[in-house]
Homo-oligomer: A and B are copies of this chain.
Amino acid sequence: MCMNPEGASSPRAAVRREGRVTINDIAALTGVAASTVSRALSRPDRVNRVTRERIQAAARELNYVPNTQAQALSSGRTETVALLVSDATNPFYFGLIRGAQQQLRAAGHALLLIDTEDSAELENHLLHKVRRSVDGVILAASRLPEQTLSVIAAELPVVTVNRNVPRVRSVVIDSPDGVMQAVEHLVSLGHRAIAYVAGPPSSWANEARWRAMRTAMARHGLTAARVGPFGVSRSSGSVAADALLNTGATAGVTFNDLLAIGILQRLAERGVDVPGEISVVGCDDIFGADFCSPPLTTLTAPIEQAGRVAVSMLLDHLEHLGETPSRQTVLLPTHLTIRQSSGPAPRR
């Protein structure tokens, strides 16, 4: 009948609070205390069977959905895990994301995806920011210095992928071993001058692969050339291809497939025959490696499995907090998948 003065809405967006069913509603409906409802729902074994069933029935009937915020606030557990990737667009991560997502869902946890845009600074900042909003984090290809990682791992459950840091759990794909296989493969095809096409210097895996390459070459009394560093995008492939050609090598092992595919494209442009004039071996076996042209010989990495394992390790860690943080690291094997980008060394 009259305008009430408090009718004016607040400047902040109205908060939707309609329709929310809380444990109190269930408590009221079933005539028990809210705390009992809470128990019945989150630790069913701690409550009498008949009350429990009555409560669960009521919950179902009212279409109750727990408020995760509230749960998190009072319990300290968020049932959420953050996955930090350096570039959500990199096909390498697709499998990782997928594997992690699967395993997480199975455990009823949510996945917070964070793109660090390949910046250590941003990575650190975002990590700091979500620290309290997640139960733990998975760091895929972290760009952070070892010391920073140690500090973070001390205050938050962490699992790294493809990055080995003392006292931090990690799953690493054994690409170095794969690189050795690749070198054997190339050497047996008659190659003597083989170059490593390096990725970002901040990448731990990059250095690990390079080391493996030198070792493998040394076994045959050969020394590996090295070009780079290059960015890990297909477009970096152009420069990389030219640099690779310049070394006079008859074969190149690249930091990853993205780079390798870029190189393949550039070589085609320049009319260089692969593998006739030069062989190219990639790393990871990402989506596309099997249908680029020529199909890429590469190190097949169990990426999806890595995602699953990382999650398992993290969840396991969460269960046993406080226990000795044994420097546990899982090594996943790779194998060489031979396709058409590698072949016999050209005659001199």
Tell me whether A276 is interfacial, beta carbon within 8 Å.
no
Residues of B within 8 A of A129 (CB): 65
Other contacts beyond A16-B155, A70-B73, A88-B94: 6, CB < 8 A? A13-B319, A18-B155, A19-B155, A69-B78, A89-B94, A105-B115
Smallest Cβ-Cβ distance to A322: which chain B residue = B14
Over the window 10-51 of chain A, the binary record of Cβ atoms lying under 8 Å from chain B Cβ atoms (1 yes, 0 no) is 000111111110000000000000000000000000000000
Copies in the complex: 2
Q: Residues of A at under 8 Å CB distance from B? A: 9, 13-20, 65, 67-70, 72-73, 75-78, 80, 88-89, 91, 94-95, 97-98, 101-102, 105, 110-115, 128-133, 155, 261, 264-265, 287-288, 291-293, 318-322
| Residue in contact with A15 in the complex, picked from B76, B91, B261, B265, CB distance below 8 Å | B76
Bound-state CA distance A76–B15 (Å) is 6
B287 engages A91 (CB within 8 Å): yes
Distance of A17 from chain B, by nearest CB (Å): 7
Given the complex of chains A and B, what is the CA–CA distance between A264 and B293 in angstroms? 13
Which of these, B67, B91, B114, B132, contacts A65 with CB under 8 Å?
B132
Of all chain B residues, the one with the shortest Cβ separation from A72 is B69
By secondary structure, the A interface counts as mixed
Q: A16-B76, A75-B15, A261-B291 are in contact. Are A130 and B101 (CB under 8 A)?
A: no
CB-CB under 8 A from A98, the residues of chain B are: 88-89, 115
Q: Is the CB of B101 within 8 A of A132?
A: no
6 nearest CB pairs, A to B: A15-B76, A293-B293, A288-B288, A69-B72, A113-B113, A69-B73
Contact A265 B291 (CB under 8 A): yes
Contacts of A70 on B, CB cut-off 8 Å? Answer: 73
A94 to B128 alpha-carbon distance, docked (Å):
25
Name A82's closest neighbour in chain B (CB-CB): B110
Find out whether the CB atom of B133 lies under 8 angstroms from the CB atom of A68: yes
A169 CB to closest chain B CB (Å) equals 16
Contact B78 A89 (CB under 8 A): no
With beta carbons under 8 angstroms apart, the residue of B9, B91, B132, B320 that contacts A94 is B91
